[in-house]
């Protein structure tokens, strides 16, 4: 939680409900906020209760000017944003200057790009915080959520998924994979988890369903783009015929925790918050 009397918190808001939850938590702690919603991504209803403005992703000059004008020294990047092509980005003069400073990271994976953006904001005099630093209850300790538990076969699929997702993350590709009976049905790339789950519907094998594994990338800067799950993830996992979701403890942001658990119990899915190292070790010991 933030301390009362801290400077105005600037929230750079993508889609989904998390920007609003971060803003509400900061205000409840006595901190002023100013929200910059990215056009085409931020939910207007989420922005409405707070001082806010909109900006294009490429309008770096406007973003920096707004943050400085409203006295924001601390900032949070929260909410999904689909990365545009350079042509669609249409950077302004300041944006072009920042792109030049980011260099090759602009054309690599999301983590490399976000780490470079965090570095540039630091050079511009801002302190970048993680959303989990403002809203600590967004992340879970290790353990089972809900009434359904994974069996031994599911734990083996989880261990396989951990190995696959870590390999993906090491080359900055994705944060998730689906494994069924030891077979990797799908891995996440630029399309995101929801689209990956939609692909799994036609790929499922007969027998016990697969598992979704979501992890932080190795070495990832946790101030941006932590894995996120919520009731919608559960709904899509159930539609894909999965039997559970395993996610990294202390590294996954959860939206609507109670509703997510209720939805998982109703669908017969397990929700497991795990230590990736322990998940693999347990299977090796069996």
- CB-facing half-sphere around the CA of 157: CA atoms within 13 A: 28
Contact 71, 8 (CB under 8 A): yes
pLDDT interval class at 120 (50, 70, 90): confident
Beta strands in the chain (DSSP E): 8-13, 33-38, 52-55, 72-78, 127-129, 143-145, 176-180, 183-187, 211-214, 228-229, 244-248, 253-254, 270-274
Could you state, in order of their start, the residue ranges of all structural domains in the chain?
8-134, 139-285
For residue 24, pLDDT beyond 90: yes
Q: Determine the pLDDT at residue 195.
A: 92
Whole-model pTM: value is: 0.80
Q: State pLDDT tens for residues 246-280.
A: 999 988 989 889 999 999 999 999 999 998 877 66
Long-range pairs of 102-111 with CB within 8 A, sequence gap ≥ 24: 108/172, 109/171, 109/172, 109/173, 110/83, 110/172, 110/190, 110/225, 111/169, 111/172, 111/217, 111/219, 111/220, 111/221, 111/225
Flag the least confident range among 30-39, 93-102, 178-187, 206-215. Answer: 93-102
Cα–Cα–Cα angle for 119, 124, 127, rounded to 5 degrees: 65
Q: Dmax over Cα atoms in the chain, in whole Å?
A: 59
Q: Determine the pLDDT at residue 105.
A: 56
Please give the CATH topology (third level) of the domain spanning 139-285.
Cytidine Deaminase; domain 2 (3.40.140)
Burial of residue 282, with CB atoms counted within 10 A of its CB: 0-12 exposed, 13-18 middle, 19 or more buried: middle
Does the domain made of 8-134 have the CATH classification 3.30.300.30? no
Q: State pLDDT tens for residues 79-107.
A: 887 766 666 667 778 878 877 777 665 55
Under DSSP, is residue 27 helix (H, G, I), strand (E, B) or coil? helix
Task: Find the mean pLDDT for residues 229-257.
Answer: 94
Domains 8-134 and 139-285 share a fold: no
Question: How large a percentage of the chain has pLDDT more than 90?
Answer: 56
Q: Determine the pLDDT at residue 227.
A: 86
pLDDT interval class at 2 (50, 70, 90): very low
For residue 207, pLDDT beyond 60: yes
Q: Report how far residue 21's alpha carbon sits from residue 256's, in angstroms, rounded to the nearest whole number.
A: 10
Q: Report how far residue 183's alpha carbon sits from residue 165's, in angstroms, rounded to the nearest whole number.
A: 13
């Amino acid at each position: 939680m933030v301390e009362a009397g801290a400077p105005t918190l600037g929230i750079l808001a993508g889609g989904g409900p998390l920007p609003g939850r971060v803003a509400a938590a900061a205000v409840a702690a006595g901190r002023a906020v100013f929200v910059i919603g990215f056009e085409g991504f931020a939910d207007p209803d989420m922005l409405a209760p707070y001082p806010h403005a909109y900006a294009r992703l490429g309008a770096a000059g406007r973003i920096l000017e707004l943050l400085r004008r409203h006295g924001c020294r601390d900032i949070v990047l929260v909410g999904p944003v689909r990365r545009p092509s350079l042509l669609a980005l249409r950077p302004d003069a300041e944006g072009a200057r920042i792109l030049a400073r980011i260099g090759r990271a602009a054309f690599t994976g999301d983590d490399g790009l976000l780490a470079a953006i965090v570095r540039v904001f630091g050079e511009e005099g801002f302190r970048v915080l993680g959303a989990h630093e403002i809203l600590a209850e967004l992340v879970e300790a290790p353990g089972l959520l809900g009434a359904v538990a994974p069996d031994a076969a599911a734990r083996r699929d989880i261990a396989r998924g951990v190995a696959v997702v870590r390999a993906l993350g090491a080359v900055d590709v994705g944060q998730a994979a689906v494994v069924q009976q030891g077979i990797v049905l799908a891995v996440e790339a630029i399309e995101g988890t929801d689209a990956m789950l939609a692909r799994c519907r036609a790929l499922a094998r007969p027998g016990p369903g697969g598992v979704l594994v979501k992890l932080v990338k190795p070495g990832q800067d946790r101030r941006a783009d932590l894995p996120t799950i919520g009731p919608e993830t559960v709904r899509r996992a159930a539609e894909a015929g999965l039997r559970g979701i395993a996610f990294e403890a202390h590294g996954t942001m959860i939206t609507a925790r109670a509703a997510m658990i209720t939805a998982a119990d109703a669908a017969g899915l397990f929700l497991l918050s795990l230590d990736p190292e322990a998940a693999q070790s347990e299977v090796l010991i069996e």
